Structure 1
Amino acid sequence: MDLKDQLKNLFPDHIPEEGEAKPHAKPDIWLQDDPILCKYEKRKGKPVTILEGYNGADKDFKKLAKELKTRLSVGGSIKGEIIIIQGDYRKKIMEILTEKGFKVKRVGG
Structure 2
Amino acid sequence: MDLQDQLKKLFPDHEVSFEPEKTEEVAHELLIQKEPMICKFEKRNGKPTTIIEGYDGDEEDFKILAKEIKTKLSVGGSFKDGAIIIQGNYRDKIMQILQAKGFKTKRVGG
Shorter-chain TM-score above 0.5: yes
Counterpart residue identity of residue 31, structure 1: I
Unmatched tracts of structure 1, length 5 or more: 1-25
Aligned-residue offset at 1:92: 0.2
Aligned-residue offset at 1:27: 7.1
Q: Percent identity?
A: 63
Aligned-residue offset at 1:39: 0.4
1:1-109 to 2 correspondences below 5 Å:
28-109=29-110
Partner of 2:8: none
Aligned equivalents of 1:108 and 1:61: distance in 2?
Answer: 22
Give the CA RMSD over aligned residues: 1.3
What count of residue pairs does the alignment treat as equivalent?
84
Counterpart residue identity of residue 36, structure 1: M
Larger Rg: 2
TM-score (norm 2): 0.73
Counterpart residue identity of residue 100, structure 1: K
What per-residue deviation string (whole Å, max 9, x for no partner) do you get for residues 29-65 of structure 1?
1111110000000000000000010110011011000
* Over 3 Å off, 4+ runs: none
Unmatched tracts of structure 2, length 5 or more: 1-26
Partner of 1:22: none
TM-score (norm 1): 0.74
SS class of match (1:85): strand
Aligned equivalents of 1:55 and 1:61: distance in 2?
Answer: 9
What per-residue deviation string (whole Å, max 9, x for no partner) do you get for residues 11-37 of structure 1?
xxxxxxxxxxxxxxx872111111000
Counterpart residue identity of residue 39, structure 2: C
SS class of match (1:78): strand
Counterpart residue identity of residue 66, structure 1: K
